[in-house]
Amino acid sequence: MCPDTLAVPPSAALALRHATQDTHRLVETVPLMQALGQGRVDRAAYALILRRHHALLAGFEAQLSGWLSTLIGTGWQYRRRVPALREDLHTLGQPPQTPIAAPAAGNDAARWGMLYVIEGSQLGGRVIARTLRKQQPALADALRYFELANDDPAGWRRFQAVLDQRLDTSSAREAAIDGAQRMFAHFHTCLAAEPCP
């Protein structure tokens, strides 16, 4: 018997991570995001980042609002990002950017893949918030969005458990991978765009 036949398949989150690492890396190479990760953003650049996150997440949350509300009782619950983004933008004296439509998601599995990107971004958000608190203390009053995960430290683990339940077939995982890659590409497009005059 071949030892591979006894191997436990990787978790859905791990499968998504491996399959999307290249598209994820593209988002991290956007100059604006590199500067953010290193704490090298001024108030104007930070406001631009928040406005772009608002545009893509407001579009996502509006487009999938009905579906997101059905996830209550799964052991994990989606926390809307738009209110925190609006508060941070208000603190900075900036208006929110117009919502941008989310990529099409043909089924629930693709939507779970999109959620994987959004939920995973909160892990990076914690690191970003810590860096900004140290290097840009003047922005400390506008970190609600990046600190959302601090309110529920076990949220990522619960999300991964639900992801395993929902993506329990190879076809569901493939659809989720497609959804995640589309969402990473959407993040890249929104964050890499040239600033409007």
Q: Domain count of the chain? A: 1
CA atoms of 181 and 195, how far apart (whole Å): 24
Which range marks the domain in which residue 77 is found? 11-192
- Would you say residue 65 lies in a domain? yes
Identify which of 186, 169, 41 has the alpha carbon closest to the alpha carbon of residue 105: 186
pLDDT digits (tens, 9 = 90+) for 37-80: 999 999 999 999 999 999 999 999 999 999 999 887 778 889 99
| Residue 24: closest CA among 157, 191, 148, 193 | 191
Residue 54 belongs to a domain with what CATH number? 1.20.910.10
Rounded-to-integer distance, Cα 53 and Cα 68, Å: 18
- In a domain, residue 43? The reply is yes
Cα–Cα distance, 77 to 12 (Å, whole number): 18
Query: What is the share, in percent, of the chain residues with pLDDT greater than 70?
Result: 93
Q: What is the pLDDT of residues 82-121, one digit of tens each?
A: 999 999 999 999 999 999 999 999 899 999 999 999 999 9
* Residue 35, in any domain of the structure: yes
* CA dist list (Å): 63 to 13, 59, 73, 78: 24, 6, 21, 14
Residue 41, pLDDT score: 97
Within a domain: 102 = yes
Q: How confident is the model at residue 20 (pLDDT cuts 50, 70, 90)?
A: very high
Domain membership of residue 1 (yes or no) is no
Q: How confident is the model over 117-137, as a mean pLDDT?
A: 96
User: Which of 33, 50, 55 lies closest to 139, judged by CA?
Assistant: 50
